[in-house]
Structure 1
Amino acid sequence: MTERVAFSRRALIVPLLVVAGIAALTLWSAFGGMAPRTAPQDEGARPVRFNMAWLPQGSMAGIFVAIDKGYFADAGLAVEPVRGFGGMRTANELDQGMFEFAYLDPLSVALSRAKGGKVRMIGGINMRFPAGACFVRERHRVERPADLAGLRFGAGQSSAIQALLPAWLRDNGVDPARVEQIQLDPAIVVSSLVEGRIDAAECWLGNSMALFDKAAKAKGVTVGRIAYADFGLDVYGSGFAARDALIEKDPQLVRAFLKAAYRGYADAARDPKAALAIIRKSYPLLDEAVTERQIRETAELMAAEGGSHRLRPEKIERTVATLQASGQLRDFDQSAQLFTNAFVPMGKQP
C-alpha cells in the first residue's frame, strides 16, 4: 500500500506542476492584470473591499449587479471586489483587516476562531451545503460515501473540505484512511479529475460544477456527483462575513452593505441573463454558459430555506460538531460567536 501511495504521488507531481504553471498564466491573463470595470462611484463614497474567496464567477453576480445598478452607491459605499485564494486564507485575510467583508463559509470561520481569529458570518448565501464529491462515470461508480474507499480524492489546499472529509466519511461508516486525500492548487482540481490524475474531487454548485461538466464534455467523458448534504451533512455553505471589530464599531456599514448586496442577488435571481451581462462588463473573458449556470445554481441555493438569509443556531452548531468529530475544535465553546442575524434584511428585497 505504501508503495502504491508513493507511486501515485510521484506520478501526480510532474504533470501537475506543468498544469499549474499553465493555469497560473491563464488566470493571470483572464483576471490578474485587469481590475473590474464598475459603475462610477461618488467621490465621497466610503471605500469598501470585498474578498470573493476565489476568482470572479457567477456566485458573485449579486455583488456586481449591486455595483452596476448603484445599490452600493445609494448607500454611500464604493465596493471593490477582490479575488481570493480559498476559504481558510480568506478568513485569515479578513481577520487581519485586509477587507471589510468576505464571501466565507462557517467551517472556515470556526477553524479561524479556534486559532484566535475574530470573524463571524453576518448573513447566508448558500443555505444548503453546495459541496459534493465528483467522479468520472466512465472510470468509477460512486453512489454513496463507501464507494470512495480506495480512491484518490483531490481538493484545494485551502478548502475546508480538507478538514471536513474525514469526519463525513466516518459518519457514513467509511474509514478515512481508505480514501487518499491529495491537496491541490484549486486551479487544477477540475483538470486533474477529468484527465485521470485523481479519482474523485471536491465540486461545488454555484462554482466548479459547471467547469467540471464543460471540461468533461471536451474530453468525451461525463461527470457524476454525490452531494454531502444527501449523506448527513446538513450545514450551511458560504455567506457574508465580517470582523467582530467592524461589526461593533460600525453596525450601520454592515447593515447598509448587506441590504445593497442582497438586493443585487435578488435581481440576479430574477434575471440571470442580465446579471451575466453585468458581470461580463468587468470580466469579458468569463465563459457565458458556465457563468450563467453558476448564477442560476446560486439562486437555487439561496432559496433553499424559503428565501431566508438568516442562519439557524442548530445548523451552525452542526458545523462545529462535524469539525469536532474530525478531531478539531476540541473544547471549542464559541458556536454562538460564529454568526449574527442582527443585520440581515427582513422580508423580500425590492
Structure 2
Amino acid sequence: MIIMKKRMLAVLLSVLLITAMTGCGSKKEEAGDGKLKKITFVLDWTPNTNHTGIYVAKEKGYFKEAGLDVEIVQPPEDGAEVLVGSGKAQFGISFQDTMMPAVVGDDALPIKAVAAVLQHNTSGIVSRKGDGIKRPKGLEGKKYATWNQDIEKAILKQVVEKDKGNFSKVNMIPSTVTDEVSALKSKKVDAIWIYYGWAGIATEVAGLDTDYFAFKDIDPVFDYYTPVIIGNSEWMKKNPETAKAFLSAAKKGYEYAIEDPKDAGDILCEASPELDSKMVQASQKYMKDQYKAEVKQWGYINPERWNAFYNWISEKGLSKTKIPENTGFTNDYLE
C-alpha cells in the first residue's frame, strides 16, 4: 500500500485554510434518505481492506439499522483530515503520524481519532529476499525510497541506530513508489516502507520473495495507531448519540469481516470492481487477525501507546510545540 506520509505537507498547508472556515463543523446533521441522518465518510486513499468494515456495514444495512445514510467518498488532494476538519465530512480515515500536524498548536483542526481500524502498526520495510535487509542495519549502503518527511526519516534513523547501524550510510532516494513489486524487481530501489496488509500481501500474491521487518518489533514506541477513524470533534459534541451509532455500526462491519473474511472481501470487491479479487481475498485473510488482535473491543485506542508516540515526536523536536497528553484521540464514542 502507498504510505500516506507524503500527505503530511498537504495537511500542514491546509490547516491555516480550514481554520478560516468558521461554523462548518458545528452544524447539526441533516436528514438523508427519509428519516435517516446523513453521514459523509471520507477515505484516505482508494478503497482497500483497511476500509472493508465500512463497506460491509453499508452493504449489510448496519448503518441503516442505526438510522444513518452513509456516503463513502474519495479524499481530496489535501487529505481526509481537511474534509473532516471543515465539517464537510463527519468521519474519515487517517493515521496517528500523518494527522499530528492537524491536531497540534493554535491552528489545530477540530478532529479526533475515535477508533483504531487496526490494533497494531503493521508497517515496516520490505526488500528483496537475500539482499541482507532482514534487519534495519542491513539498510546501510542500500537504496531506500523516501518521501523526505521529517517523521518518516526520524523513525528510520532510530530503528537503524537501535540495530547498531549507521543511518548516514543509507542511500535515501526520493521516490513515490506506487507499485512495490515492480520497484523491487527493477532494482530501482532496494527497500520500501509499506503496510504489510496490502503491499506485503501484494508481494506474496505476485510470487516475489522478500524480507521484511516491522517497526514495532524494533522499538515498541512505533506501535502507534495506523490507520484510525477520525471524526469532527465539534460535530460529535453536538451529536454524541449519532456518533456512537455510526461507530457501533462500523464495529459490526469489522467484526463481520473478522468472522467471514471471504464474504467481506467479496463485498469490498463488489463496491470497488477495479480491485483484484485474489489480492483482496489474500489481504482480507491477513487483516481479519489485525482488526481487533488481542483486545476485546474493536476500535479501542490504548492511551499509553498513543501518548508514547506523540511524546517521542515531542522529544525529537518533530512538533513545533510540545504535544499534551491525550491529544487527538478519544474512546468516548465507542460502545
| TM-score, length of structure 1 as denominator length | 0.77
1:54–1:190 CA distance, 2 compared to 1 (3 A): farther
- Aligned with residue 209 of structure 2, among 211, 222, 226: 222
Q: In the alignment, which residue of structure 2 is the partner of 1:193?
A: 184
CA distance in 1, matches of 2:235, 2:261: 32
Amino acid at match of 1:120: K
SS of residue paired to 1:335? coil
Shift of 1:194: 3.0
Q: In the alignment, which residue of structure 2 is the partner of 1:258?
A: 247
Amino acid at match of 1:135: S
* Cα deviation code 1:62-112 (max 9, x no counterpart): 1111001111111222212223479x8333333233421112221122232
SS of residue paired to 1:58? coil
1:60–1:158 CA distance, 2 compared to 1 (3 A): farther
Q: How much is the aligned-residue C-alpha RMSD, in angstroms?
A: 2.6
Q: In the alignment, which residue of structure 1 is the partner of 2:236?
A: 247
CA distance in 1, matches of 2:38, 2:174: 36
1:209–1:62 CA distance, 2 compared to 1 (3 A): same
Q: In the alignment, which residue of structure 1 is the partner of 2:171?
A: 180
1:303–1:97 CA distance, 2 compared to 1 (3 A): same
Checking the alignment, whether the CA contact within 8 Å between 1:234 and 1:318 is kept in structure 2 is no
CA distance in 2, matches of 1:200, 1:163: 16
Q: In the alignment, which residue of structure 1 is the partner of 2:204?
A: 213
Q: In the alignment, which residue of structure 1 is the partner of 2:287?
A: 298
- Aligned with residue 329 of structure 2, among 328, 333, 339: 339
Equivalences for residues 38-77 of structure 1 within 5 A: 42-77=33-68
Checking the alignment, whether the CA contact within 8 Å between 2:87 and 2:235 is kept in structure 1 is no
CA distance in 1, matches of 2:114, 2:124: 24
Which one is further off, 228-237 or 90-99?
90-99
Extract unaligned runs of 5+ from structure 1. Answer: 1-40, 346-350
Q: Is residue 100 of structure 2 the alignment partner of residue 123 of structure 1?
A: no
- Aligned with residue 143 of structure 1, among 129, 134, 139: 134
Identity %: 22
Q: In the alignment, which residue of structure 2 is the partner of 1:13?
A: none
Q: In the alignment, which residue of structure 2 is the partner of 1:287?
A: 276
Equivalences for residues 144-183 of structure 1 within 5 A: 144-155=135-146, 161=152, 164-183=155-174
Checking the alignment, whether the CA contact within 8 Å between 1:161 and 1:202 is kept in structure 2 is no
Checking the alignment, whether the CA contact within 8 Å between 1:155 and 1:184 is kept in structure 2 is yes
SS of residue paired to 2:178? helix
Q: In the alignment, which residue of structure 2 is the partner of 1:112?
A: 102
1:182–1:261 CA distance, 2 compared to 1 (3 A): farther
* Cα deviation code 1:306-334 (max 9, x no counterpart): 23332111101121133235430253233
Amino acid at match of 1:67: K
* Cα deviation code 1:200-255 (max 9, x no counterpart): 0011133222223334x2xxx41221111110133222121112212222212211
Shift of 1:163: 5.7
SS of residue paired to 2:50? helix
1:196–1:322 CA distance, 2 compared to 1 (3 A): farther
Paired residues, number: 299
| TM-score, length of structure 2 as denominator length | 0.80
Runs of 4+ in 1 over 6 A off after TM superposition: 157-160
Shift of 1:130: 0.8
CA distance in 1, matches of 2:39, 2:174: 32
CA distance in 1, matches of 2:183, 2:202: 12
Q: In the alignment, which residue of structure 2 is the partner of 1:31?
A: none
* Cα deviation code 1:141-165 (max 9, x no counterpart): 2121111122222256789645633
SS of residue paired to 1:123? strand
Amino acid at match of 1:224: D
Extract unaligned runs of 5+ from structure 2. Answer: 1-31
1:185–1:157 CA distance, 2 compared to 1 (3 A): farther
